[in-house]
Amino acid sequence: MKKLAVVVVLVFAVTLAVVVGQRLSAEAMAVVVGVICGVVAGIPTSAFVMLMANRRDQRVERMRSGGMGAEPYGAYPPVVVIQGGTPATLPTPSAYYPAHAAAGSREFHVVGVDHE
C-alpha cells in the first residue's frame, strides 16, 4: 500500500511539473530553475553546519561525562586567591585634563557665526 501511494504521489508531481512547465514563459521558467538550483546549492552547506553542530554537541557531552578532554580539576572549579594590599587611590582630575580645562575656562566656536 505504501509503495502504491509513493508511486501515485510521484506520478502526480511529474504530471504537475510538465503541465506547469508548458504554460510558463521562458523568463518564468528561468526563475523557477534558478530557485531550484539555489536550494540545491544550499544543501551541502546546511549539511556541513549540521555535521559541525553535532560534533560540538558530542564533544560537550563527552566532557560532561568525564571522558577524554574533561576538565583537569574534576567536578570542582579552581580556587583563586587574591592577596589584599593597600587600597588603590583614584587619580586626580588634573591627570586627565589639561590645566586650562580644570580652571573652567572653555571657548566654544559656533560654525557659521562671525566671531569678533
What digits encode the pLDDT tens for the residues 4-37? 999 999 999 999 988 888 888 889 889 989 999 9
C-alpha cell at 91: 587619580
Residue ranges of the domains in the chain?
A: 25-63
Q: What is the pLDDT of residue 27?
A: 92
What digits encode the pLDDT tens for the residues 52-103? 998 888 887 877 776 555 555 566 777 888 877 776 676 666 556 655 555 5
Q: What is the pLDDT of residue 112?
A: 79
Nearest CA to 22 out of 11, 10, 32, 34 is that of 32
For residues 41 and 32, give the distance between their C-alpha atoms in angstroms, rounded to a whole number.
14
CA 46 to the chain's CA centroid:
14
Helices (H) and strands (E) counted in the chain, each on its own, are 3, 0
